[in-house]
Amino acid sequence: MLTVLVTRKHQETDTICVFELVDAEGRTLPPFTAGAHIDVHLNAQLIRQYSLCNSPRERHRYLIAVQRETPSRGGSQWMHEQIEVGQRLTIGTPRNLFELQPPGSQHVLIGAGIGITPLLSMAHELALRGDTFELHYRTRDPARSAFLDQLTEHFPQQLRTYFDRTAFNDATLPGRPAADKHLYVCGPQLFMEQMIDTARRLGWAEANLHREVFNAKTPVIEGDQPFEVEIASTGAILQVAADQTVHQVLDAAGIDVPISCGKGICGACLTGVRAGIVDHRDQVLSEEEQAQNDLFTPCCSRAFTPRLVLDL
């Protein structure tokens, strides 16, 4: 965990604020790679993920952009209304679920709305690497387009903007596939699904398709069975019904486990497992980490055995 200071708060558009964060003690910040995000801990139960949008070569600051959602689940409203310059925030170290491929590849970046944020970081890195890339930005109008001036200034040859749906659809994106050509998509869930499906129809290889995912459908499997969780520190045994999550049961028992996405994407609720076999349904642990069976996501994962003993 890191303590950072908010040194700048800028209203980028009428719905998007940009926050500059520096180490509270003036130290160099941990490195990050293009496409990475941080967890911002607003309170014990409110954790949100925001993409880092500055160049990964910058070690003195992190930049995040927060779009005010309507209705808000609490995070964006809190950031817009409660967080001001001079305040301290607790954040996690950068994590990356949306990595750039190695130097030497071709890259097609396609973002919609606030989805431009990780792509901005990628564009900075690709330009510094000297890799060939295209940056396509689907947005409603210039006045509501975050970072448009910066994108136009720094990437005039690579940037293409689309302010209406017809122009975007006529662009024949993402283009022809190639073995060394990679597609990166970020934006609303439906937008990303449509772009990935289009790429598949055009013959793109699955390994060349990349998207940022902070949300996912909660895995629901017909025939889920009830099971028990045991709290290792107290010996308390709690019953988890077939239609309940472990997190819901823990919360009802007054056991505090931080949660953010609630879908097994972010890893905020990762909890240790001492015994039992986990039915992993998350997207944050690798196959190797899941096989170790010592961590699980109580927001969505379940048990193959009648009981899980939790390291709580």
pLDDT at position 165 is 83
Our measurement of the distance from residue 37's CA atom to the centroid of its chain's CA atoms, rounded to an integer in Å, reads 6
pLDDT at position 309 is 96
Structure tokens at 78: 């809190």
Rounded to 10 degrees, what is the CA torsion of 284, 288, 290, 294?
Answer: -110
Closest CA to 18 of 78, 74, 79: 79
Q: Is the CATH number of domain 227-310 3.10.20.30?
A: yes
What's the CA gap between 289 and 268, in Å, rounded?
Answer: 16
Q: Tell which CATH architecture fits domain 2-91.
A: Beta Barrel (2.40)
Answer yes or no: are the C-beta atoms of 280 and 302 closer than 8 Å: no
- Give Cβ neighbours of residue 117 (< 8 Å, ≥ 6 apart): 50, 51, 52, 53, 64, 65, 111, 146, 147, 186
Our measurement of the distance from residue 96's CA atom to the centroid of its chain's CA atoms, rounded to an integer in Å, reads 8
Structure tokens at 229: 């969780």
pLDDT at position 164 is 86
Answer yes or no: are the C-beta atoms of 47 and 29 closer than 8 Å: no
pLDDT at position 217 is 45
Is the fold of 2-91 the same as that of 227-310?
Answer: no
CA distances from 298 to 22, 50, 68, 193, 279 (A): 32, 22, 28, 27, 11
**Number of residues that this document lists for the chain:** 312
Tell me the domain boundaries of the chain: 2-91, 106-211, 227-310
CATH of region 106-211: 3.40.50.80
What's the CA gap between 223 and 219, in Å, rounded?
Answer: 12
Answer yes or no: are the C-beta atoms of 6 and 19 closer than 8 Å: yes
Cα Rg of the chain (Å, integer)? 21
pLDDT at position 45 is 66
What's the CA gap between 118 and 70, in Å, rounded?
Answer: 22
Closest CA to 173 of 117, 99, 122, 108: 108
Answer yes or no: are the C-beta atoms of 303 and 224 closer than 8 Å: no
- Give Cβ neighbours of residue 202 (< 8 Å, ≥ 6 apart): 174, 175, 176, 177
Divide the 312 residues of the chain into consecutive groups of 10 and give the mean pLDDT of each group.
96 95 97 94 80 96 91 78 94 91 93 95 96 94 92 96 88 93 92 93 95 59 84 94 91 85 79 94 82 91 94 94
pLDDT at position 291 is 86
Closest CA to 228 of 286, 308, 152: 308
Rounded to 10 degrees, what is the CA torsion of 204, 208, 212, 215?
Answer: 60
pLDDT at position 123 is 97
What's the CA gap between 160 and 110, in Å, rounded?
Answer: 10
